[in-house]
Structure 1
Amino acid sequence: MSRLALLFDLDGTLLHSDPLHHAAFVSVFAERGRDLDIEEYNTRILGRPNADVMADYFPGEEARHVEIADLKEARFRDILGASADPTPGIHALLDWAEREGAGTAVVTNAPRLNVEAMLAAAGLAERLTLLVIGEECPRPKPDPLPYRMAMEQLGATPATSVAFEDSPSGLRAARAAGTHVFGLTSSLTPERLRDAGAHETIADFNAPEIRAYLDTLKARQG
Protein backbone atom coordinates (compact mmCIF):
# COMPACT_ATOMS: atom_id res chain seq x y z
CA MET A 1 0.00 0.00 0.00
CA SER A 2 1.31 3.45 -0.90
CA ARG A 3 2.08 5.86 1.89
CA LEU A 4 0.26 9.14 2.47
CA ALA A 5 2.56 12.10 1.80
CA LEU A 6 2.40 15.82 2.51
CA LEU A 7 4.64 17.82 0.19
CA PHE A 8 5.42 21.42 1.05
CA ASP A 9 6.83 24.28 -0.94
CA LEU A 10 8.82 26.61 1.32
CA ASP A 11 8.80 30.31 0.38
CA GLY A 12 5.30 31.71 0.75
CA THR A 13 4.01 28.33 1.92
CA LEU A 14 5.76 27.29 5.12
CA LEU A 15 6.88 30.88 5.74
CA HIS A 16 5.47 34.16 4.48
CA SER A 17 8.89 35.07 3.11
CA ASP A 18 8.01 36.62 -0.23
CA PRO A 19 8.10 40.22 1.09
CA LEU A 20 11.65 39.51 2.30
CA HIS A 21 12.67 38.15 -1.10
CA HIS A 22 11.12 41.18 -2.78
CA ALA A 23 13.12 43.49 -0.52
CA ALA A 24 16.34 41.62 -1.33
CA PHE A 25 15.67 41.81 -5.06
CA VAL A 26 14.82 45.52 -4.77
CA SER A 27 18.21 46.12 -3.15
CA VAL A 28 20.11 44.28 -5.87
CA PHE A 29 18.07 45.81 -8.69
CA ALA A 30 18.53 49.36 -7.32
CA GLU A 31 22.30 48.97 -7.57
CA ARG A 32 21.80 48.29 -11.27
CA GLY A 33 19.41 51.21 -11.82
CA ARG A 34 16.23 49.14 -11.93
CA ASP A 35 12.97 49.27 -10.02
CA LEU A 36 10.93 46.25 -8.97
CA ASP A 37 7.45 46.72 -7.54
CA ILE A 38 5.61 43.94 -5.75
CA GLU A 39 3.22 43.25 -8.64
CA GLU A 40 6.10 42.65 -11.03
CA TYR A 41 7.78 40.45 -8.44
CA ASN A 42 4.63 38.38 -8.02
CA THR A 43 4.10 38.13 -11.78
CA ARG A 44 7.61 37.55 -13.09
CA ILE A 45 9.78 36.26 -10.25
CA LEU A 46 7.68 34.51 -7.59
CA GLY A 47 8.55 30.80 -7.45
CA ARG A 48 10.91 30.78 -10.42
CA PRO A 49 14.48 29.39 -10.33
CA ASN A 50 17.19 32.02 -9.97
CA ALA A 51 18.80 30.96 -13.24
CA ASP A 52 15.63 31.88 -15.14
CA VAL A 53 15.26 35.19 -13.29
CA MET A 54 18.86 36.15 -13.97
CA ALA A 55 18.50 35.30 -17.67
CA ASP A 56 15.40 37.50 -17.94
CA TYR A 57 16.69 40.53 -16.07
CA PHE A 58 20.44 40.53 -16.70
CA PRO A 59 20.90 39.23 -20.27
CA GLY A 60 24.17 41.08 -20.73
CA GLU A 61 25.78 39.82 -17.54
CA GLU A 62 25.82 36.08 -18.07
CA ALA A 63 29.22 35.69 -16.46
CA ARG A 64 27.90 37.31 -13.27
CA HIS A 65 24.53 35.55 -12.96
CA VAL A 66 25.66 33.25 -10.16
CA GLU A 67 27.34 36.12 -8.32
CA ILE A 68 24.22 38.33 -8.56
CA ALA A 69 21.93 35.52 -7.45
CA ASP A 70 24.20 34.65 -4.52
CA LEU A 71 24.25 38.32 -3.45
CA LYS A 72 20.47 38.47 -3.51
CA GLU A 73 20.15 35.29 -1.44
CA ALA A 74 22.72 36.48 1.10
CA ARG A 75 20.73 39.69 1.56
CA PHE A 76 17.55 37.67 1.96
CA ARG A 77 19.14 35.62 4.75
CA ASP A 78 20.32 38.80 6.45
CA ILE A 79 16.76 40.18 6.38
CA LEU A 80 15.33 36.85 7.58
CA GLY A 81 17.41 36.78 10.74
CA ALA A 82 17.49 33.97 13.29
CA SER A 83 13.78 33.53 13.94
CA ALA A 84 10.58 33.67 11.93
CA ASP A 85 6.99 32.62 12.46
CA PRO A 86 5.88 29.69 10.29
CA THR A 87 2.51 29.68 8.60
CA PRO A 88 -0.20 29.08 11.23
CA GLY A 89 -1.34 25.51 11.64
CA ILE A 90 1.78 23.80 10.32
CA HIS A 91 2.79 22.21 13.62
CA ALA A 92 -0.67 20.71 14.13
CA LEU A 93 -0.61 19.36 10.58
CA LEU A 94 2.81 17.82 11.12
CA ASP A 95 1.56 16.31 14.39
CA TRP A 96 -1.23 14.67 12.36
CA ALA A 97 1.30 13.35 9.84
CA GLU A 98 3.39 11.81 12.62
CA ARG A 99 0.37 10.13 14.21
CA GLU A 100 -0.79 8.73 10.88
CA GLY A 101 2.65 7.67 9.66
CA ALA A 102 2.41 10.00 6.67
CA GLY A 103 5.59 11.06 4.92
CA THR A 104 6.57 14.71 4.66
CA ALA A 105 8.99 16.59 2.41
CA VAL A 106 9.96 20.10 1.42
CA VAL A 107 9.99 20.54 -2.36
CA THR A 108 11.47 23.93 -3.24
CA ASN A 109 13.39 25.95 -5.80
CA ALA A 110 15.15 27.83 -2.99
CA PRO A 111 18.92 27.28 -2.64
CA ARG A 112 19.95 24.87 0.12
CA LEU A 113 21.48 27.61 2.28
CA ASN A 114 18.15 29.46 2.26
CA VAL A 115 16.19 26.29 2.95
CA GLU A 116 18.29 25.41 5.97
CA ALA A 117 18.17 28.99 7.30
CA MET A 118 14.39 29.29 6.88
CA LEU A 119 13.55 25.94 8.42
CA ALA A 120 15.84 26.66 11.37
CA ALA A 121 14.38 30.15 11.86
CA ALA A 122 10.84 28.75 11.80
CA GLY A 123 11.59 25.88 14.17
CA LEU A 124 10.85 23.29 11.49
CA ALA A 125 14.30 21.90 10.72
CA GLU A 126 13.90 18.81 12.90
CA ARG A 127 10.35 18.15 11.70
CA LEU A 128 10.94 18.39 7.95
CA THR A 129 14.12 16.52 7.11
CA LEU A 130 13.55 15.35 3.54
CA LEU A 131 14.54 18.24 1.29
CA VAL A 132 14.16 18.13 -2.48
CA ILE A 133 16.04 21.17 -3.81
CA GLY A 134 15.19 22.24 -7.34
CA GLU A 135 18.67 23.35 -8.34
CA GLU A 136 20.03 19.97 -7.16
CA CYS A 137 17.56 18.08 -9.39
CA PRO A 138 18.03 17.49 -13.12
CA ARG A 139 15.12 19.91 -13.65
CA PRO A 140 13.57 22.32 -11.10
CA LYS A 141 9.95 23.39 -10.80
CA PRO A 142 7.82 24.11 -12.87
CA ASP A 143 8.92 20.69 -14.09
CA PRO A 144 7.13 17.99 -12.05
CA LEU A 145 10.35 16.04 -11.46
CA PRO A 146 11.09 17.40 -7.95
CA TYR A 147 7.64 16.32 -6.79
CA ARG A 148 8.03 12.91 -8.40
CA MET A 149 11.39 12.49 -6.68
CA ALA A 150 9.87 13.36 -3.30
CA MET A 151 7.04 10.87 -3.75
CA GLU A 152 9.46 8.15 -4.78
CA GLN A 153 11.64 8.71 -1.73
CA LEU A 154 8.60 8.62 0.57
CA GLY A 155 7.04 5.52 -0.97
CA ALA A 156 3.99 7.53 -2.05
CA THR A 157 2.07 7.93 -5.29
CA PRO A 158 0.28 10.93 -6.80
CA ALA A 159 -3.04 9.47 -5.61
CA THR A 160 -1.82 9.37 -1.99
CA SER A 161 0.01 12.72 -1.97
CA VAL A 162 -1.03 16.29 -1.24
CA ALA A 163 1.01 19.34 -2.25
CA PHE A 164 0.96 22.84 -0.80
CA GLU A 165 2.10 25.71 -3.03
CA ASP A 166 1.81 29.47 -3.42
CA SER A 167 3.28 30.26 -6.86
CA PRO A 168 2.22 29.53 -10.45
CA SER A 169 5.50 27.72 -11.06
CA GLY A 170 5.02 25.42 -8.11
CA LEU A 171 1.34 24.84 -8.77
CA ARG A 172 2.06 23.78 -12.33
CA ALA A 173 4.76 21.38 -11.11
CA ALA A 174 2.53 19.77 -8.50
CA ARG A 175 -0.43 19.43 -10.85
CA ALA A 176 1.77 17.90 -13.55
CA ALA A 177 3.05 15.42 -10.95
CA GLY A 178 -0.55 14.31 -10.43
CA THR A 179 -1.10 15.40 -6.82
CA HIS A 180 -4.01 17.20 -5.23
CA VAL A 181 -2.80 20.78 -4.72
CA PHE A 182 -3.74 23.38 -2.14
CA GLY A 183 -2.80 26.95 -3.08
CA LEU A 184 -1.91 29.30 -0.23
CA THR A 185 -3.07 32.89 -0.61
CA SER A 186 0.09 34.38 0.90
CA SER A 187 0.90 36.46 -2.19
CA LEU A 188 -1.67 35.73 -4.91
CA THR A 189 -5.45 35.83 -5.02
CA PRO A 190 -7.52 32.64 -4.97
CA GLU A 191 -8.47 33.29 -8.59
CA ARG A 192 -4.85 33.47 -9.73
CA LEU A 193 -3.97 30.37 -7.76
CA ARG A 194 -6.84 28.40 -9.29
CA ASP A 195 -5.92 29.66 -12.76
CA ALA A 196 -2.39 28.29 -12.16
CA GLY A 197 -3.68 24.88 -11.12
CA ALA A 198 -4.76 24.88 -7.46
CA HIS A 199 -7.59 22.46 -6.73
CA GLU A 200 -8.43 24.38 -3.54
CA THR A 201 -7.19 27.61 -1.96
CA ILE A 202 -6.47 28.20 1.73
CA ALA A 203 -5.15 31.00 3.91
CA ASP A 204 -3.07 28.75 6.18
CA PHE A 205 -2.74 25.20 7.49
CA ASN A 206 -5.67 25.60 9.88
CA ALA A 207 -8.07 25.44 6.93
CA PRO A 208 -10.67 22.67 7.50
CA GLU A 209 -10.47 21.75 3.83
CA ILE A 210 -7.08 20.13 4.46
CA ARG A 211 -8.31 17.68 7.07
CA ALA A 212 -11.42 16.96 5.02
CA TYR A 213 -9.29 15.97 2.04
CA LEU A 214 -6.87 13.95 4.17
CA ASP A 215 -9.79 12.07 5.71
CA THR A 216 -10.92 11.27 2.16
CA LEU A 217 -7.48 9.90 1.32
CA LYS A 218 -7.46 7.73 4.45
CA ALA A 219 -10.91 6.38 3.62
CA ARG A 220 -9.75 5.42 0.12
CA GLN A 221 -6.91 3.44 1.63
CA GLY A 222 -9.33 1.55 3.82
Structure 2
Amino acid sequence: MITNKKWFFFDLDGTLADSIPAMKKAYFNFLHDFDINGTLEEFEELNGPSISEIVNILKRKYGLVYKQKHLVDLYRREVKSCYINFARPANGAQEILTDLKNKKYNLLLVTSAYRELAFNFIVKQKWNSYFQDYVFGDEVKKAKPDAQIYSIALKRANTTPEAVVAVEDSPNGIKSAKSAGLYVIGLTGTHPVNKLLDCGADMVISHLKDVLTCLETKNAL
Protein backbone atom coordinates (compact mmCIF):
# COMPACT_ATOMS: atom_id res chain seq x y z
CA MET A 1 0.00 0.00 0.00
CA ILE A 2 1.26 3.47 -0.83
CA THR A 3 2.10 5.05 2.50
CA ASN A 4 2.13 8.76 1.65
CA LYS A 5 -1.41 8.89 0.23
CA LYS A 6 -4.20 8.78 2.78
CA TRP A 7 -7.08 10.44 0.94
CA PHE A 8 -8.93 10.07 -2.34
CA PHE A 9 -10.94 13.06 -3.55
CA PHE A 10 -13.48 11.96 -6.16
CA ASP A 11 -15.33 14.02 -8.71
CA LEU A 12 -18.93 12.93 -9.32
CA ASP A 13 -20.24 13.72 -12.82
CA GLY A 14 -18.38 11.67 -15.40
CA THR A 15 -16.29 9.95 -12.72
CA LEU A 16 -18.39 8.12 -10.12
CA ALA A 17 -21.64 8.93 -11.91
CA ASP A 18 -22.43 8.18 -15.53
CA SER A 19 -24.27 11.48 -15.69
CA ILE A 20 -22.69 13.35 -18.60
CA PRO A 21 -25.54 12.33 -20.97
CA ALA A 22 -28.01 13.74 -18.42
CA MET A 23 -26.06 16.99 -18.05
CA LYS A 24 -25.73 17.28 -21.82
CA LYS A 25 -29.47 16.84 -22.30
CA ALA A 26 -30.18 19.49 -19.66
CA TYR A 27 -27.85 21.94 -21.41
CA PHE A 28 -29.45 21.43 -24.82
CA ASN A 29 -32.99 21.53 -23.37
CA PHE A 30 -32.29 24.79 -21.54
CA LEU A 31 -31.02 26.55 -24.66
CA HIS A 32 -33.77 25.05 -26.81
CA ASP A 33 -36.36 26.80 -24.63
CA PHE A 34 -34.85 30.07 -25.89
CA ASP A 35 -34.69 28.88 -29.52
CA ILE A 36 -30.91 28.55 -29.27
CA ASN A 37 -29.00 25.59 -30.65
CA GLY A 38 -26.26 24.50 -28.29
CA THR A 39 -23.06 22.80 -29.42
CA LEU A 40 -21.15 19.82 -28.10
CA GLU A 41 -17.99 21.92 -27.99
CA GLU A 42 -19.64 24.51 -25.77
CA PHE A 43 -21.10 21.85 -23.49
CA GLU A 44 -17.65 20.32 -22.98
CA GLU A 45 -16.22 23.73 -22.11
CA LEU A 46 -18.93 24.08 -19.46
CA ASN A 47 -18.11 20.74 -17.82
CA GLY A 48 -16.77 21.84 -14.44
CA PRO A 49 -18.30 25.22 -13.55
CA SER A 50 -21.30 25.39 -11.22
CA ILE A 51 -24.82 25.81 -12.58
CA SER A 52 -24.79 29.46 -11.53
CA GLU A 53 -21.58 30.06 -13.47
CA ILE A 54 -22.84 28.11 -16.49
CA VAL A 55 -26.02 30.18 -16.56
CA ASN A 56 -24.05 33.41 -16.20
CA ILE A 57 -21.85 32.44 -19.16
CA LEU A 58 -24.86 31.53 -21.32
CA LYS A 59 -26.79 34.63 -20.25
CA ARG A 60 -23.96 36.92 -21.34
CA LYS A 61 -23.15 35.02 -24.52
CA TYR A 62 -26.71 34.77 -25.83
CA GLY A 63 -28.15 37.94 -24.32
CA LEU A 64 -30.78 36.17 -22.23
CA VAL A 65 -32.94 38.92 -20.75
CA TYR A 66 -34.32 37.10 -17.71
CA LYS A 67 -32.86 37.63 -14.25
CA GLN A 68 -30.02 35.36 -13.17
CA LYS A 69 -32.03 33.70 -10.40
CA HIS A 70 -34.87 32.81 -12.76
CA LEU A 71 -32.45 31.33 -15.29
CA VAL A 72 -30.64 29.34 -12.60
CA ASP A 73 -33.97 27.93 -11.42
CA LEU A 74 -34.84 26.92 -15.00
CA TYR A 75 -31.46 25.26 -15.54
CA ARG A 76 -31.62 23.44 -12.20
CA ARG A 77 -35.08 22.16 -13.07
CA GLU A 78 -33.74 20.71 -16.32
CA VAL A 79 -30.72 19.19 -14.59
CA LYS A 80 -32.81 17.63 -11.83
CA SER A 81 -35.26 16.09 -14.29
CA CYS A 82 -32.54 14.72 -16.56
CA TYR A 83 -30.43 13.52 -13.63
CA ILE A 84 -33.29 11.54 -12.11
CA ASN A 85 -34.14 9.92 -15.43
CA PHE A 86 -30.71 9.33 -16.95
CA ALA A 87 -27.88 9.44 -14.37
CA ARG A 88 -26.51 6.09 -13.26
CA PRO A 89 -23.50 4.86 -11.26
CA ALA A 90 -20.41 4.62 -13.45
CA ASN A 91 -19.04 1.18 -14.23
CA GLY A 92 -16.83 0.08 -11.37
CA ALA A 93 -17.84 2.91 -9.02
CA GLN A 94 -19.28 0.67 -6.31
CA GLU A 95 -16.30 -1.66 -6.47
CA ILE A 96 -13.62 1.02 -6.24
CA LEU A 97 -15.32 2.79 -3.34
CA THR A 98 -15.63 -0.50 -1.46
CA ASP A 99 -12.05 -1.54 -2.16
CA LEU A 100 -10.55 1.80 -1.15
CA LYS A 101 -12.61 1.86 2.03
CA ASN A 102 -11.50 -1.67 2.87
CA LYS A 103 -7.89 -0.58 2.35
CA LYS A 104 -8.47 2.16 4.95
CA TYR A 105 -8.26 5.13 2.60
CA ASN A 106 -10.33 8.19 3.43
CA LEU A 107 -12.75 9.38 0.75
CA LEU A 108 -14.15 12.82 0.05
CA LEU A 109 -16.49 13.92 -2.75
CA VAL A 110 -15.58 17.12 -4.61
CA THR A 111 -18.27 18.04 -7.12
CA SER A 112 -19.51 21.07 -9.03
CA ALA A 113 -23.04 19.69 -8.72
CA TYR A 114 -25.26 21.45 -6.22
CA ARG A 115 -25.82 19.82 -2.83
CA GLU A 116 -29.40 18.58 -3.21
CA LEU A 117 -28.77 16.91 -6.55
CA ALA A 118 -25.44 15.30 -5.70
CA PHE A 119 -26.27 14.18 -2.17
CA ASN A 120 -29.59 12.64 -3.23
CA PHE A 121 -27.72 10.63 -5.86
CA ILE A 122 -25.12 9.51 -3.30
CA VAL A 123 -27.81 8.43 -0.82
CA LYS A 124 -29.76 6.63 -3.55
CA GLN A 125 -26.66 4.53 -4.29
CA LYS A 126 -26.07 4.04 -0.53
CA TRP A 127 -22.62 5.57 -0.91
CA ASN A 128 -22.93 8.08 1.93
CA SER A 129 -21.24 5.65 4.33
CA TYR A 130 -18.09 5.70 2.18
CA PHE A 131 -17.38 9.42 2.36
CA GLN A 132 -15.90 11.32 5.27
CA ASP A 133 -17.13 14.61 3.84
CA TYR A 134 -18.30 16.48 0.75
CA VAL A 135 -17.78 19.77 -1.06
CA PHE A 136 -20.58 20.85 -3.40
CA GLY A 137 -20.70 23.39 -6.19
CA ASP A 138 -23.06 25.73 -4.38
CA GLU A 139 -20.51 26.14 -1.57
CA VAL A 140 -17.90 27.90 -3.70
CA LYS A 141 -17.72 31.29 -5.36
CA LYS A 142 -15.26 30.12 -8.00
CA ALA A 143 -15.89 26.68 -9.48
CA LYS A 144 -13.52 24.39 -11.36
CA PRO A 145 -11.02 25.08 -12.97
CA ASP A 146 -10.34 27.42 -10.03
CA ALA A 147 -8.59 25.69 -7.12
CA GLN A 148 -11.08 26.94 -4.51
CA ILE A 149 -13.21 23.80 -4.31
CA TYR A 150 -10.16 21.60 -3.72
CA SER A 151 -8.70 24.05 -1.23
CA ILE A 152 -11.93 23.75 0.77
CA ALA A 153 -11.73 19.96 0.49
CA LEU A 154 -8.20 19.97 1.92
CA LYS A 155 -9.38 22.03 4.89
CA ARG A 156 -12.33 19.71 5.52
CA ALA A 157 -10.06 16.70 5.38
CA ASN A 158 -7.53 18.50 7.59
CA THR A 159 -4.76 17.22 5.38
CA THR A 160 -2.07 18.37 2.96
CA PRO A 161 -1.96 18.08 -0.85
CA GLU A 162 0.84 15.52 -0.58
CA ALA A 163 -1.53 13.08 1.14
CA VAL A 164 -4.24 13.23 -1.53
CA VAL A 165 -5.05 11.65 -4.88
CA ALA A 166 -7.79 13.33 -6.93
CA VAL A 167 -9.75 11.40 -9.56
CA GLU A 168 -11.22 13.58 -12.30
CA ASP A 169 -12.60 13.11 -15.82
CA SER A 170 -12.62 16.68 -17.14
CA PRO A 171 -9.92 19.21 -18.07
CA ASN A 172 -11.48 21.77 -15.73
CA GLY A 173 -11.47 19.31 -12.85
CA ILE A 174 -7.88 18.30 -13.46
CA LYS A 175 -6.75 21.93 -13.63
CA SER A 176 -8.59 22.66 -10.38
CA ALA A 177 -6.99 19.78 -8.50
CA LYS A 178 -3.51 20.46 -9.90
CA SER A 179 -3.80 24.14 -8.96
CA ALA A 180 -4.42 22.99 -5.38
CA GLY A 181 -1.23 20.89 -5.52
CA LEU A 182 -2.81 17.43 -5.73
CA TYR A 183 -1.69 14.30 -7.55
CA VAL A 184 -4.37 13.71 -10.20
CA ILE A 185 -5.55 10.56 -11.93
CA GLY A 186 -7.45 11.41 -15.10
CA LEU A 187 -10.28 9.12 -16.16
CA THR A 188 -11.01 8.83 -19.87
CA GLY A 189 -14.52 8.53 -21.24
CA THR A 190 -15.59 12.11 -21.72
CA HIS A 191 -12.19 13.32 -22.98
CA PRO A 192 -9.24 11.63 -24.74
CA VAL A 193 -6.00 10.69 -23.01
CA ASN A 194 -3.89 13.43 -24.60
CA LYS A 195 -6.28 16.17 -23.53
CA LEU A 196 -6.24 14.99 -19.91
CA LEU A 197 -2.45 14.78 -19.90
CA ASP A 198 -2.16 18.22 -21.49
CA CYS A 199 -4.27 19.61 -18.64
CA GLY A 200 -1.84 18.23 -16.08
CA ALA A 201 -3.05 14.74 -15.16
CA ASP A 202 -0.21 12.76 -13.58
CA MET A 203 -1.65 9.49 -14.80
CA VAL A 204 -4.58 8.53 -17.03
CA ILE A 205 -6.74 5.42 -16.69
CA SER A 206 -9.64 4.08 -18.74
CA HIS A 207 -11.64 2.41 -15.96
CA LEU A 208 -12.19 3.14 -12.28
CA LYS A 209 -10.90 -0.30 -11.33
CA ASP A 210 -7.50 0.82 -12.64
CA VAL A 211 -7.18 3.14 -9.62
CA LEU A 212 -6.18 0.06 -7.64
CA THR A 213 -3.64 -0.87 -10.30
CA CYS A 214 -2.11 2.57 -9.80
CA LEU A 215 -1.82 1.88 -6.09
CA GLU A 216 -0.16 -1.45 -6.70
CA THR A 217 2.27 -0.16 -9.33
CA LYS A 218 5.67 0.55 -7.87
CA ASN A 219 6.35 4.30 -7.67
CA ALA A 220 3.02 5.02 -9.41
CA LEU A 221 2.07 7.53 -6.76
Q: Quick one: which amino acid aligns to residue 143 of structure 2?
A: P
Conserved? CA contact 1:3–1:103, under 8 Å: no
Gaps of 5+ in 2: none
> In structure 2, what is the Cα distance between the partners aligned to 1:216 and 1:154?
26
CA distance in 1, matches of 2:203, 2:21: 23
Equivalent residues in 2 for 1:20-31, closer than 5 Å: 20-31=22-33
Q: Structure 2 matches for 1:1-222, cutoff 5 A?
A: 4-42=6-44, 44-59=45-60, 60-61=63-64, 64-81=67-84, 84-128=87-131, 130-207=133-210, 210-215=211-216
User: What code does the residue aligned with 1:48 have?
Assistant: P
Identity rate, percent: 26
Determine if contact 1:164/1:181 at 8 Å carries over to the other structure: yes
Q: Deviations over 1:160-190 (max 9, x none)?
A: 2110111221111101111111112221111
**Aligned equivalents of 1:29, 1:82: Cα separation in 2:** 19
| Length, aligned pairs only | 217
Distance 1:2 1:180, change over 3 A: closer
RMSD, matched Cα:
2.7
Query: Structure 1 length as normaliser, TM-score?
Result: 0.85
TM-score (norm 2): 0.85
Alignment check: 8 A CA contact 2:21 2:86 kept: no
Tell me the secondary structure at the aligned position of residue 149 of structure 2. helix
Q: Is the 8 A contact 1:25 1:36 kept in 2?
A: yes
* Matches of 1:219 and 1:198, distance apart in 2: 13
Q: Check the 8 A contact 2:58/2:64 in 1, yes or no.
A: no
Structure 1 gap ranges (5+): none
CA 32–62 in structure 1, closer or farther in 2 if over 3 Å, else same: closer
